Amino acid sequence: MMQVALKIWRYDASTGDRALREYEVDAPEEATLLDVLDIVKDKVDGSLAYRKSCRMMICGSCGMRMDGAAVLACKTRMYDVAQSGHVPVISAMGNLPIVRDLVVDMDPFWEKFKAMKPYLQPGYERPDDGREYRVTQERMNAVKKEALCINCGCCVSECNAMESDPEFLGPQALAKGFRFVGDPRDGATVERLEQYSGEHGIWECTRCFFCNERCPKGVDPRDAIAKLGAEAVKNGIDRDMGAKHAKWFIRSTETTGWLRETELVPKTQGVVSSIKQMKFAMNLIKHNKAGLAFPPHVAANVGEARNLHKLVHEQGVLGAAGHIQGERALSKLEHGYHEGGDPYGPGSFPKPYLPEDTE
């Protein structure tokens, strides 16, 4: 057995009462955070509210934050934390309204999920031999990662774009979107890409990579969003400023080699909105932040980049396929960092980032 101490943010939405309470219990050494919460509820305080079901990382019910980072409680072993003497702070997930204690209201999550039309819209004919429609494993592998999602919300909890704009479809919904865009049997690819490219879709992702870092199932939602972006551009759905921005980058590498920044704002936003940006832009020019570079700074041998671009288009690894080709190599990597790197040691300066503690 081991002793585990926890601080839990208790909350009651009906009264608005909020309090950080500390608990200490005995638990078996192999206990997960979920096991510890069960012990607290059984032995110390029966009013503690949290969700759980499968206890084996498959139902997606037990998403919550430990020290400000979203985790599945049933996947998080407590032994090392307890041994270190650190008392972790447990709180409800972010970006969703709290109902009570560690329970959030998942309705906004499910609404976005539903908006993606998360079901197959078959786009195939039954083969001539009268048998079932067959897809190769290789083609289904395109959506292998996205299909792993268990709808736990850990990614949504930390999404920086959603924090700023709650309307953003967000990592879970968009990853689900690619699960169908990338499915060879689905017939609504173009309609989906049009819909997902809306104001709160693909191009609102701010690439903070919190979703990839937090997802307990290796879905890598940010990568799924990149696949959607690549498919949208491949299918000519590129009216969004985000897509235009990307196309201008490509043009720059083929001409000067370096980003032609001065022209980037007009290319992305169009002339009308650029005039509004004029005052702001003039100030940048004054400080050489967006100076008109004459002659433009041109990288040596930029023709090589131009020819590579031509080759890439000839070989036709376009759209999401370009992302998927790297997955085999990237799947060999694991999240983490070099041990012993932190010269301060646990608990010393700099203080850990504990947003719930600082409120």
Partner 1 sequence: MKRVAYYKGCLASLSAKELDTSTQALAPRVGLELVELESVTCCGAGDIHEAEPDYYLHLNARILAYAEATGSDTLLTVCNVCTLNLRQANFMLKGDDTLRARINANLEAVGVPPYSGEVEVRHLLWEIAEGDGYELLKQAAHKGLKGLKVAPFYGCQILRPSKIMGFEDPDRPWSLERIIEACGGEAIDYPAKIKCCGFPIIQAREETAMGELIQPVEQAIEAGADVMVTPCPLCHLSLDAWQQKLEASTGKKFGLPILHLAQLVGVAAGIEESELKFKRHIVDPRPALERLEV
354 binds ligand SF4 (CB under 6 A): no
Which listed residue (54, 135, 250, 275) binds ligand FES by CB under 6 A?
54
Do the beta carbons of residue 42 and residue 63 sit within 8 Å? no
Q: How far apart are CA 301 and CA 299, in angstroms?
A: 6
Q: Which of the choices ligand SF4, partner 1, ligand FES, none does residue 333 contact, using the CB cut-off of 5 to 8 A by kind?
A: partner 1
Residue 349 touches which of ligand FES, ligand SF4, partner 1, none (CB < 5 to 8 A by kind)? partner 1
Question: By CB under 8 A, is residue 233 in contact with partner 1?
Answer: yes
The binder of 61, among partner 1, ligand FES, ligand SF4, none, by C-beta within 5 to 8 A per type, is ligand FES
Q: Which amino acid is at 322?
A: G
Binding of residue 74 to ligand FES (CB under 6 A): yes
Binding residues for partner 1, total number by CB under 8 A: 97
Amino acid at 176: K
Q: How many binding residues for ligand FES (CB under 6 A)?
A: 13
Residue 154 has a CB neighbour count (10 Å cut-off) of 29
The least distance separating ligand SF4 from the CB of residue 148, rounded to whole angstroms, comes to 7
Binds ligand FES by CB under 6 A, chosen from 33, 40, 72, 89 = 72
Residue 259 near ligand SF4 by CB under 6 A: yes
CB count within 10 Å of CB 83 equals: 12
Residues contacting residue 155 through CB under 8 Å, at least 6 positions apart: 70, 170, 171, 172, 175, 210, 211, 214, 215, 219, 221
Q: Choose the binding region for ligand FES from 46-54, 191-199, 277-285, 348-356 (rule: CB under 6 A).
A: 46-54
How many Å apart are CA 320 and CA 324, to the nearest integer?
6
CB 228 within 8 A of CB 158: no
Stretch that binds ligand SF4, among 10-18, 205-213, 232-240, 311-319 (CB under 6 A): 205-213
Tokens of residue 107, six digits: 């309705």
Candidate ranges 96-104, 137-145, 204-212, 271-279; the one touching ligand SF4 (CB under 6 A): 204-212
Q: Which two tokens stand for residue 42?
A: 């059984």
> Which of these ranges, 13-21, 60-68, 287-295, 308-316, lies near ligand FES under the rule CB under 6 A?
60-68
For 186, phi then psi, to 5°, come to -80, 140
CA distance linking residue 352 with residue 344, whole number of Å: 11
Q: Is 268 in the site for ligand FES (CB under 6 A)?
A: no
Interface residue with partner 1 among 9, 265, 282, 294 (CB under 8 A) is: 265
Q: By CB under 8 A, tell whether 9 contacts partner 1.
A: no
Q: Which of 53/83 has CB closer to ligand FES?
A: 53
Among candidate residues 168, 159, 145, 167, the one with its CA nearest the CA of residue 208 = 159
